[in-house]
Amino acid sequence: MTGARAVSVLTHTRPQQIAAVLERLRQAARACDVQLVFDPAEAEKLDLARDDDAIVVARPGHDDDVGLCVALGGDGTILRALRRFAGADVPVFAVNFGEVGFLASLEPEELDGFGFERAFQREFEVLRLPAIEMQCAGLTAKAFNDISVHRKVGGRVAQLAYGVEGEEVGSVRCDGLVVCTPAGSTGYNLANGGPVLAWGVEGFGVSFIAPHSLTARALVVAPGDVLSVSNHGREEVEVWMDGQAAGEVAPGDQLTARFQPDSAGLAQLPGSSFYRRLRAKFGRLSA
pLDDT tens digits in sequence order for the chain, 287 residues long: 466 789 999 999 898 999 999 999 999 999 999 999 998 888 889 888 766 767 787 766 656 689 999 999 999 999 999 999 998 999 999 999 988 888 999 999 999 999 999 999 999 999 999 999 999 988 899 999 999 999 999 999 999 999 999 899 999 999 999 999 999 999 999 999 999 999 999 999 999 999 998 888 999 999 999 999 999 999 999 999 999 999 999 999 999 999 999 999 999 999 888 888 888 887 754 54
pLDDT of residue 287: 47
pLDDT of residue 1: 46
Q: Among the options 39, 63, 75, 175, which is catalytic?
A: 75
Q: Provide the CATH topology of domain 131-262.
A: Tumour Suppressor Smad4 (2.60.200)
Q: What's the CA gap between 249 and 247, in Å, rounded?
A: 7
Give the closest residue to 263 by CA, choosing from 67, 88, 13.
88
**For residue 3, which amino acid is it?**
G
Provide φ and ψ at 24, rounded to 5°.
-65, -40
Q: What's the CA gap between 128 and 266, in Å, rounded?
A: 6
**Spans of all domains in the chain:** 6-123, 131-262
- For the chain, helix, strand, coil in percent to 5 are 20, 40, 40
CA dist list (Å): 252 to 140, 160, 161, 236, 241: 19, 10, 10, 9, 21
Provide φ and ψ at 122, rounded to 5°.
55, 45
Share of the chain above pLDDT 70, in %: 94
Residue spans of alpha helices (H) in 111-216: 116-120, 188-191
Write the CATH number of the domain with boundaries 6-123: 3.40.50.10330
pLDDT of residue 229: 97
8 A C-beta contact, residue 177 and residue 237: no
pLDDT of residue 64: 66
246 Cβ contact partners less than 8 Å away, ≥ 6 residues apart: 134, 136, 139, 141, 147, 239, 240
- Whether 75 is catalytic is yes
Q: What's the predicted TM-score (pTM) here? A: 0.89
Q: What's the CA gap between 197 and 178, in Å, rounded?
A: 14
